[in-house]
Amino acid sequence: MYEGVKAAAVHNPSSLAELVLLRNRLPGALLWAGGTAIMSKTRLYPASDGIDIIYLGNVQELKRISRSERYLEIGSQVSIEQILRVGQHILHPVFAGACRESGPYVIRSQATIGGSLSLEDYSLNIPTALSVLESQVEIRNPENKKPSTQWIPVHRMFSRNRERSRLQPAIITRVRIQLEEGDFEFFNTVGEPYLNPDEAVILSVFAKYNLPAISEYRFALSFPLYGIFRSREIETAVSINDLPFEQRDISRIIRSLREDLQESSFPISPLQRERACRVFEYALHRMNSQSIK
């Protein structure tokens, strides 16, 4: 071993109870899910701090997928590829799109849904899609005297990236996704969210309509370094229109979005703002063409 370098101790719990006890004892240890984000950081291994590692891959309770009439529940250790295998007829198109575009196959087959929701510095595809599906994340906080679970809406966790660090050292255990069907769902990325997070934009949309009226319109725009932007006002500005939209309505909505982004506290670049407005406009046109088919 090199001088000054300490090997990490790797802990390998096989049940949730064991994991919670271990986390309580080692709140500073690194939780290792698929390891794809951890391994892509420049921190070299072995390192001088020799931080302890808790490997989550053998905790059986975290590897389950279950379905009820209203929800799909996915354990945090389920990989993105396993989710895609659950099938198109169960997965929301917006969520399936987010999973399919979460990096190359070799990453998707290792990366877990829990890991994608725990990246401290980025808000990427999966949280953006889950935000519009009003999904919830189950958190175990081993710091509480009586280990308790808490359900948190994904969109609240990601409204600003910095808010997520407050969840440390909690463990994400499950994700609950409503199975309510949308009439229009859209997922798109502009740029490369993981490789160029300061320039990329991710958009998810979930809408319901009964022609010509729109009964529900939800969107989430992610600026990967800063968090996810949502706006009730813009959602209302879209849903008060009948389908198909007229060009002047679309122009008015995009003007409001541009103003809101300019006034928001997200320190985005002019390029990101332009990309956000254009992809949002594209989604409105897609919804239009779907509605007149």
Ligand X SMILES: Cc1cc2nc3c(=O)[nH]c(=O)nc-3n(C[C@H](O)[C@H](O)[C@H](O)COP(=O)(O)OP(=O)(O)OC[C@H]3O[C@@H](n4cnc5c(N)ncnc54)[C@H](O)[C@@H]3O)c2cc1C
Rank residues 141 and 256 by Cβ distance to ligand X and give the closer one.
Answer: 141
Whether the CB-CB separation of 112 and 104 falls below 8 Å is answered with: no
Considering the complex, what minimum distance in angstroms separates the CB of residue 116 from ligand X?
A: 3
- Please state, in angstroms and rounded to a whole number, the distance separating the CA atoms of residues 153 and 112: 19
Rank residues 56 and 253 by Cβ distance to ligand X and give the closer one.
Answer: 56
Rank residues 118 and 241 by Cβ distance to ligand X and give the closer one.
Answer: 118
H or E stretch including 169?
none
Considering the complex, what minimum distance in angstroms separates the CB of residue 252 from ligand X?
A: 32
Whether the CB-CB separation of 234 and 276 falls below 8 Å is answered with: no
- Please state, in angstroms and rounded to a whole number, the distance separating the CA atoms of residues 223 and 243: 29
Which CA distances in Å does 25 have to 12, 15, 98, 169?
14, 16, 35, 11
Look-up of token digits 């010509």: 212
- Please state, in angstroms and rounded to a whole number, the distance separating the CA atoms of residues 28 and 237: 45
Rank residues 99 and 253 by Cβ distance to ligand X and give the closer one.
Answer: 99
Q: Are strands 30-32 and 53-55 parallel, antiparallel or unpaired?
A: parallel
Whether the CB-CB separation of 157 and 168 falls below 8 Å is answered with: no
| Interacting residues with ligand X (CB under 6 A) | 30-38, 40, 56, 76, 101-103, 107, 110-112, 114-116, 118-119, 124-125, 171-172, 193-194
Considering the complex, what minimum distance in angstroms separates the CB of residue 56 from ligand X?
A: 6
Residue nearest to ligand X (CB): 115
Considering the complex, what minimum distance in angstroms separates the CB of residue 211 from ligand X?
A: 33
Rank residues 36 and 241 by Cβ distance to ligand X and give the closer one.
Answer: 36
Considering the complex, what minimum distance in angstroms separates the CB of residue 119 from ligand X?
A: 5
Considering the complex, what minimum distance in angstroms separates the CB of residue 265 from ligand X?
A: 23
Whether the CB-CB separation of 261 and 228 falls below 8 Å is answered with: no
Whether the CB-CB separation of 154 and 129 falls below 8 Å is answered with: no
Rank residues 94 and 172 by Cβ distance to ligand X and give the closer one.
Answer: 172
